[in-house]
């Protein structure tokens, strides 16, 4: 299987400036990325596909100095360690303990996602961590009573709107044709899903913790 098209960068590096990019919910997504990596002592090497701001590198330098961190991207102006596409990763097979693609797969045509997943599987020795945009309104409830644990509940409200490409996202979970079940079925062709969740603090990002079959 080969990619049906060549992908190039969609935004300039200036897209990642603090004012426009680092809203509170996105900060929390970085927390979950770091938690998933650092909570597994067997992880000593990371390949991060589409690093964006390189925030993950900066945090791992502080909190996990033993981890070797490498980036790959088609956008040369974000200065990746390796220049290349997620559909044709220029790395040897089984080279990294975990391969990450946080908010990346939606930037390629859905018809190429399975090829990208096969590449992520080929590059990793064990884990693949990804997150994807999950469209739709949410119902959220947060309650804190003194001396009791905080109660947090949230649910996505189905809203199967038709997706229209506007220069960045080719598709999103929750829109017509891209239900969570469809995505889960695709992932299970290549991986065992160890965990799947939407962080309470960022209801737009759905995380998948995957293990190579």
* Overall fold of domain 24-212: Rossmann fold (3.40.50)
Residue 148 CA to residue 28 CA, distance in Å, equals 23
Task: Report whether 199 contacts 209 (CB < 8 A).
Answer: no
Backbone angles phi, psi at 163, to 5 degrees: -85, 140
Confidence of residue 2 (pLDDT cuts 50, 70, 90): low
**Closest to 36 in 3D by CA, of 16, 60, 54:** 60
Residue 70 CA to residue 145 CA, distance in Å, equals 44
Instruction: Give the pLDDT of residue 67.
Output: 98
Task: Report whether 72 contacts 48 (CB < 8 A).
Answer: yes
The residue to which tokens 């090497």 are assigned: 45
**121-151 confidence digits (pLDDT tens):** 999 999 999 999 999 999 999 999 999 999 9
Residue 97 CA to residue 114 CA, distance in Å, equals 21
Global confidence as pTM? 0.89
Residues contacting 117, CB < 8 A, separation 6+: 105, 128, 186, 187, 189, 190, 191
Average pLDDT rounded to a whole number, residues 152-173: 96
**54-68 confidence digits (pLDDT tens):** 899 999 999 999 999
Q: What does the mean pLDDT of the chain come to?
A: 93
The residue to which tokens 């709107």 are assigned: 161
């Amino acid at each position: 299987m080969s990619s049906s098209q060549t992908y190039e960068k969609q935004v300039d590096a200036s897209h990642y400036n603090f004012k426009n990019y680092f809203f509170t919910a996105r900060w929390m997504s970085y927390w979950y990325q770091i938690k998933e990596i650092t909570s597994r002592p067997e992880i000593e090497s990371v390949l991060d596909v589409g690093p964006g701001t390189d925030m993950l590198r900066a945090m791992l330098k502080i909190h996990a100095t033993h981890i070797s961190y490498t980036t790959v991207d088609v956008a040369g102006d974000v200065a990746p360690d390796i220049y290349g596409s997620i559909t044709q990763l220029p790395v040897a097979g089984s080279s990294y303990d975990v391969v990450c693609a946080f908010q990346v797969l939606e930037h390629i045509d859905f018809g190429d996602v399975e090829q990208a997943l096969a590449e992520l599987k080929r590059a990793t020795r064990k884990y693949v961590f990804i997150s994807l945009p999950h469209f739709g309104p949410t119902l959220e409830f947060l309650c804190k009573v003194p001396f009791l644990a905080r109660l947090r509940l949230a649910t996505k409200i189905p809203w199967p709107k038709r997706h229209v490409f506007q220069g960045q996202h080719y598709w999103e979970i929750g829109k017509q044709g891209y239900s969570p079940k469809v995505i889960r079925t695709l992932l299970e062709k290549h991986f065992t899903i160890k965990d799947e969740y939407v962080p309470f603090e960022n209801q737009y990002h759905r995380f998948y913790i995957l293990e190579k079959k």
